[in-house]
A and B are shown apart, each in its own frame.
Chain A
Amino acid sequence: MLLLAAGALHAETADFKGEKITLIVPYKTGGGATVYTRYLAPLLEKHLPGNPSTIVKNIPGGSSLKALNWFARTATDDGKLVSNTGPAFFIKSLIGEPAVKYNTADFTPLIASRNGWLVYLRPELGETTGGFDKVKGKVLRYGGRSPTTGEMLVLIGFEMLGVPLKPIWGLSSGKRRQAFMRNEIDIGQDTMSSYHKHVVALIKEGQAVPWFTVGYIDDNGAVVRDPMLPDIPSFKEMYVKVHGKEPSGMAWEAYKAVLNIRVMSIRTLIIPRKTKPEILQAYRVAMEKVVSDPAVTGEKGKRVLGPYPHSIGAKAEQVMKAATEMDPKVTAWLKKWLRDKYGVGKS
């Protein structure tokens, strides 16, 4: 009887025995996305039923759009094609870039990994952590790569705080930090992984003052302090301090969506939503085992995949929903603001 039940159960579950799963990385070999995917690949092999083999394949080009368009076109319901994504996946679609040939709603996340973000200041400004009096009314020198990346988050934030910026574009995160150290820009910003490597030392030497974190979204969907830096106020508290009221309105809605993109799902693995239910279920179960595997929870896993817990299943869905389902009015506001303020999309 027991045997029979087990057999029936088996018939309905997916089995990947002898199969090959391809994990797409939409960037050049090397870099964080490749490392992230390569670290997870053997864990998927271990925990998926039938222990399939995996290969990690880099498809660079078009700021990740080439691979993502191809993935959307090619991936079927058999679960053999999985893609890694970064913020560009959401943002390019959000701002309506014409080269985007996929619909973010057609995909479901298997895992979404987080990375907090700290904003810090030059000590010459004399500002304190969480303070605003000294910078009030000042134009701050800002350095970044491009207003159309995840750093859009801080740009919206400064708009809401009413801090005028003098931007210099074209700086990768490393170059930005160097420019900050040379005192050529006032505002530094780094993810939590870079924070430990570089920013802690700067703060110790008195070369940087932590200002605020962009925030974090808790299980109830509320914007809270970053759990890795609980002593540093979040952007939301800054807003309350400056305006004396809770944030609301179009800008705040846009901010929350980009916060989901930039912090709550900085790296994800996605699969088509149309994937067969039993296969999707197998992935979900495997992912639960993956995130509790010592290789993920251990010291090495935290170093490579980030120190935060990972979202899977319904939670990952929730993050993705918050990141993609923006009210059309908010989208319109965001596009207009990016265009008027930073010339984005102006031809």
Chain B
Amino acid sequence: MDVILGSLGQLLSGWHLLFLVLGVLLGLSVGLIPGLGGLAGMAMILPFLFHMDMGTALALMIGLTSVTTTSDTFPSVLMGVPGTSGSQATVMDGFPLSKQGEAARALSAAFTASLIGGVFGALVLTGAVFVAKPIILAIGFGEQLMLVLLALTMVGMLTGASPIKGMAACGLGLLVGAVGTVDTTGTMRMGFELLYLTDGVPLVAMALGIFAVPEVIDVLRHRSTIASGGKLGAGWLQGVVDVLRHKWIVLRCAGIGCLIGALPGLGGTVIDWIAYGHVVQTSKNRERFGRGDIRGVLAPESANNAKEGGALIPTLLFGIPGSGTMVILLGGLLIIGLEPGPSMFARHLDLVFLIIWSIALANVMGTSICMGLARPISLLTTVRYTLIAPLIFSAVFFAVFQATRDWGDLIALFIAGALGVFMKRFGWSRAAFLLGYVLSDKVEEAIYQTVQAYGFAVFERPLVLILAAVVLISGFFVMRSKNAQAAMQDTGKNARRNVGPQLLFIAAMTAIPVWGIVDTAGRVYSMSLFPVSAAIFTLVFVALVTLSVLFKRAPNAELHDEENATVGRASVGSFYYLGWLVGLLAGAALLGFVPAVALFIFLFLRRKADLSIARAAVFAGLFVLVLGGFAKLLVLDYPAGLLQNFVTLPWPLQ
């Protein structure tokens, strides 16, 4: 107890507090910018850590890593662009709420939930310091497999109106996730022998492509502002009331986030999806999920802040990072001379508590700041969208380029974006696809490791049996739950019209499982078993969808084309805006990334927003300066084009 209070004293002493505030401010900033997160923030402070003493360095690092999942809510809710990989699921209901003019409410609800989640995580960490070790060590390969399967059942909650289409989408996600080098043999599969695909398709490219690009295009086509009529509705007080009303959901999801963050097997990127799936599964009236249900915002936001506390448990106890941010935190700890592991608990227990207190305080500070900003920043949803869209497109390309700093990142984003546009149009669940994608390697790994370690003897482990029962119960509820379906009309999006494009899309999607089989069948077992199984699974559901599309006469969930319902309303098609993106890529290939972005913003503002030449140039110029600033800060070179072969451009145009 003395230790606990002693650390609190140290925390509140001048320097420590100052650096904690600094860390929080930096963390909020990087969380706010899509594609940057705790990792980029830590990369920025890394050079300074060498010269700092242990306490202040720790404050800076913890401040930074604790709040990135608080501010990342802004882009997720306001723009439909996941701010970090931890807030993908927030987009599901957060963005629809913004469109209904309830951005401020959604944000304040999200921040309050984040705060509760973060403090909850810190509390659990306090207790866990003493008891977590045996619990974590009880989770062997078999138990990890069950946890992964449990997560996979959540796909059932994310399928949208057509379960078979959702399952097919999940299968496609599993297959795309299987691209890359296989550990057992060190050989690549399904990657066309491209060096870029050695480590698979980056998550950022997938998440931003699948979610952000289609949303931006959709708003561009159908709306003039994000919020309907350009008005903001209920304010931030409503959001706090929402949290109080759904306090059990918030606490439950905080628990889920903390637990999954701490246990081996799943990792940080799926926590928001699991929390989201969980809240849909356990709610009675679920008609509004996906169309702007506040519970769909509370669940992932509370879980993803609680995760950081949870993920610190294995990081500190075993030196095993529980999330992406923890990987780099470990590096930072090494620099300042704090070596996680059993010896740290013996020698530096005070610092362990300093960490815990810092997390709690950082969460309070981060939430207060974001709360204050919620209302003014929400006003963005009432700004003419044609002014914002080119900036979002450019920001998304910048974000994805952080994945591997390769030309391939830009191309991967475009392909994923086009895929997302058509999945949205034809009613294929993007959430199910993405969950399949993030779970893919975990499913394969867990099955392989369990079979290698135990074979069927795995069912002799009591905890495996208990968890297997939980999986079955969850699966049962998923099967039983029927998504409420709006009545389908002959004139609506589910009508029997425009069948041709739908079949074309199905044919294109069939290519993925076929490629999986062609490329891996006949190779060694460890390389082919998973993709071939996933491909067969996918093909079965794709076939069911095809049959339904071809032969069902009445309107049905498999028949789905958003264009049917919107005919006459949109002046231009999705292809038009995808064309703009092709233009941006082509420009980057010719002029280099930064000049191309400047030109893109300028032309877009001139043509679509009717801005004067001077104003459009100022916008473009400012964005270039921001890009240039990041180039310095993160030591990065933007993709070069043909032009760079002949001239070297000055900063910030490089």
Contact = CB atoms under 8 A, between A and B. Distances in A.
Interface string B439-459: 000000100110011000000
A343 B198 contact: no
B42 A30 contact: yes
A46 B327 CA distance: 30
Contact of B453 (A35, A55, A184, A344): A184
Interface string A147-174: 1100000000000000000111111001
B597 to A, nearest CB: 21
B191 to A, nearest CB: 11
Given A169-B183, A198-B342, A300-B337, A35 B319 contact: no
Contact of B137 (A95, A166, A182, A194): A182
Given A179-B141, A304-B335, A342-B185, A61 B50 contact: no
B449 A198 contact: no
A99 B334 contact: no
Contacts of B404: 60-61, 66
Interface in A174-215: 174-175, 177-179, 181-182, 184-185, 194, 196-198, 200-202
Nearest to A345: B187
B635 A57 contact: yes
Given A34-B46, A166-B452, A198 B319 contact: yes
Contacts of A167: 452
B491 to A, nearest CB: 50
Contacts of B511: none
Contacts of A95: 186
A29 interface: yes
A264 to B, nearest CB: 22
Contacts of B282: none
Interface string B189-200: 000010110110
Interface string A45-84: 0000000000111111111011001000000000000000
A240 B608 CA distance: 79
Interface in A306-323: none
Contacts of A93: none
B195 A346 contact: no
Interface size range of chain A in the complex: 35 or more
A38 interface: yes
A57 B334 CA distance: 20
B47 interface: yes
B513 interface: no
A220 interface: no
Interface in B214-254: none
B331 interface: yes
Interface string B11-42: 00000000000000000000000000001101
A343 B318 contact: no
A38 to B, nearest CB: 6
Nearest to B522: A347
A30 B43 contact: yes
B343 A201 contact: yes
B334 A201 contact: no
Given A30-B46, A34-B46, 12 more contacts: A30-B42, A35-B334, A55-B635, A69-B195, A166-B452, A168-B453, A171-B449, A178-B320, A182-B138, A197-B343, A201-B343, A343-B526
